[in-house]
Amino acid sequence: MREIHIDDLRPGDVVNKTLLSKTGMVMLEEGTVLTDYYIHRLRTLGFKRVAVRDAGDRLARENLLAAGRSRKETEDSSSETLAQAIAEMKSNEEALRKTGENIRRFVESDLTFSRMSLPFLETARFRRDFRERVLSVLSEKALADELSVILQSDPQLFQHSLQVSLLSNVLGDVNGYDKSKLDELTIGSLLFDVGMTRLPAELIKANRKLTEAELEKVREHTRLGYKVLSEIKGVPQQAARAALLHHEKFGGHGYPLSFKGKDIPELAQLIGLADIYDALLSKRHYRDPYPSNEAMEYLFAASNHDFGANIVQMFLKHIVIFPVSSVVELNNGQIGIVEQTGNRLAHRPVLRMIREANGDPIAQPYTVDLNQNHQLAILRLVQGI
């Protein structure tokens, strides 16, 4: 190691000791290869001497610079290739047609709305209004193109986006949003993850645990999504901000800006909660779905930590985890059939008990209200009964 005057620094010198500002802020990490820009910046900030590694000779420094230029050229080439691929996907008329078919099928299916807990008349109104809002988004060519890009890039991500839009729209509706705000929520929730399509496919479809460097790259999808939506004429600013901020956390430990509490726009919180919940219950490239009871445990733990407590409570009251007629196993081993889900927390329906823990049928089935029996809890859905 040697410490040299700022005027003697040359591009290719390697910082041997992390450089801190007077306030303790990291200016350059140990191991940074200096460039003309870095040297000029250090001089502007008042640095006089810098510890650098002994590179051996000029050739070693030139090799380091060449490696840096090579990486940049590779990144630039990858960006150009990705941009070309996006343009080709947007010009794929068949894919655009299939995108429209998938969306229309989703908004018209009874199964889609089985995840909601609203009074019957309210459900009918919500279905009609939600369908109208989603199809309105589809009618905008630039937005339809981006939805088609999502479908072509990753069908799982496309289905996830539809579910997140449904779940967050339920929350916006019961929260009393007006038409304008619901329109913003619908655009933001359908396209909140569009930035993922601007990442390398090997990252978004990886079936393994990502490295920390890869995770940092994936986290850029929020900024990329904001950029995409901000550049589309007519997209409300709040919809674009939802793409940017849907990974912010109530306790201030989210990204990309580490916003905290009420500094996080409510639209972004609703979409973020719907995103996490549906992600837990959905199969991913790298894991199987989580059981419903584990997803519920997460939501309880997330209250006033990841999301505001009022939003979590509202979500739990209007989302159906265990639909009517589904068969479930309790923590005491008994089996029951869900009879009522309305006006109660999603994980505490009314059950009709049909089987004892030892497997024997119950001679005279009876009902259990989990709201009144807090020692009982649903462990899992049961198939084949």
Give per-residue pLDDT as tens, 316-334.
888 877 888 889 999 999 9
Domain-located, residue 85: no
Q: Which residue in 176, 191, 181 sits closest to 227, CA to CA?
A: 191
Average pLDDT over every residue of 186-197: 98
Domain-located, residue 245: yes
Q: Please check whether residues 69 and 170 belong to one and the same domain.
A: no
Domain-located, residue 203: yes
Instruction: State the Cα–Cα distance between residues 327 and 378, nearest whole angstrom.
Output: 10
Q: Which residue in 297, 365, 364, 353 sits closest to 329, CA to CA?
A: 353
Domain-located, residue 313: yes
The whole domain housing 2 covers 1-76
- Which residues share a beta bridge with 336? 328, 353
Give per-residue pLDDT as tens, 1-11.
678 888 888 88
Average pLDDT over every residue of 145-160: 96
Q: Please check whether residues 281 and 222 belong to one and the same domain.
A: yes
- Which residues share a beta bridge with 358? none
Domain count, the chain: 3
Q: Please check whether residues 1 and 112 belong to one and the same domain.
A: no
Average pLDDT over every residue of 299-326: 87
Report which listed range, 79-83, 117-121, 147-151, 343-347, is most confident.
147-151
Residue 57 pLDDT greater than 50, yes or no: no
Q: Please check whether residues 26 and 149 belong to one and the same domain.
A: no
Average pLDDT over every residue of 283-290: 76
First to last CA, the chain: 72
Of 285, 318, 351, which residue sits at a domain end?
Answer: 318
Instruction: State the Cα–Cα distance between residues 223 and 246, nearest whole angstrom.
Output: 11
Q: Please check whether residues 96 and 64 belong to one and the same domain.
A: no
Domain-located, residue 86: no
Of 46, 76, 106, which residue sits at a domain end?
Answer: 76
Specify the CATH number for the domain of residue 185. 1.10.3210.10
- Within 10 Å of residue 236's Cβ, how many Cβ atoms? 17
Domain-located, residue 289: yes
- Tokens (6 digits) for 347: 């994980």
Give per-residue pLDDT as tens, 15-55.
888 887 665 666 777 778 787 767 877 887 778 888 888 65
CA angle 266, 288, 166 (to 5 degrees): 30
Domain-located, residue 48: yes
Q: How many residues does the chain have?
A: 385
Q: Please check whether residues 312 and 331 belong to one and the same domain.
A: no
Residue 146 pLDDT greater than 90, yes or no: yes
pLDDT at 60: 52
Q: How far is CA 118 from CA 319, 344, 350, in A?
A: 9, 11, 16
pLDDT at 332: 94
Q: Which residue in 117, 119, 207, 105 sits closest to 170, CA to CA?
A: 117
Instruction: State the Cα–Cα distance between residues 62 and 59, nearest whole angstrom.
Output: 5
Q: Please check whether residues 107 and 224 belong to one and the same domain.
A: yes
Quote the mean pLDDT of the chain.
87
Instruction: State the Cα–Cα distance between residues 135 and 144, nearest whole angstrom.
Output: 10
pLDDT at 58: 47
Q: Please check whether residues 148 and 263 belong to one and the same domain.
A: yes
Q: Please check whether residues 311 and 333 belong to one and the same domain.
A: no
Specify the CATH number for the domain of residue 69. 3.90.105.10
Q: Please check whether residues 69 and 166 belong to one and the same domain.
A: no
HEC states along the chain?
CEEEEHHHCCCCCEECCCEECCCCCEEECCCCECCHHHHHHHHHCCCCEEEECCCCCHHHHHHHHHHHHHHHHHHHHHHHHHHHHHHHHHCCHHHHHHHHHHHHHHHHCCHHHHHECCCHHHHHHHHHHHHHHHHHHHCCHHHHHHHHHHHHHCHHHHHHHHHHHHHHHHHHHHCCCCHHHHHHHHHHHHCCCHHHHHCCHHHHCCCCCCCHHHHHHHHCHHHHHHHHHHCCCCCCHHHHHHHHHCCCCCCCCCCCCCCCHHHCCHHHHHHHHHHHHHHHHCCECCECCCCHHHHHHHHHHHECCCECHHHHHHHHHHECCCCCCCEEEECCCCEEEEEECCCCCCCCCEEEEEECCCCCEEEEEEEEECCCCCCCCEEEECCCC
Q: Please check whether residues 186 and 135 belong to one and the same domain.
A: yes
Cβ within 8 Å of residue 193, ≥6 positions away? 150, 157, 160, 161, 164, 221, 225, 243, 275
Q: Please check whether residues 314 and 332 belong to one and the same domain.
A: no
Of 292, 318, 344, which residue sits at a domain end?
Answer: 318
pLDDT at 62: 55
pLDDT at 100: 97
Domain-located, residue 81: no
Are 331 and 293 within 8 A, CB to CB? no
Give per-residue pLDDT as tens, 205-236.
888 888 888 899 999 999 999 999 999 999 99
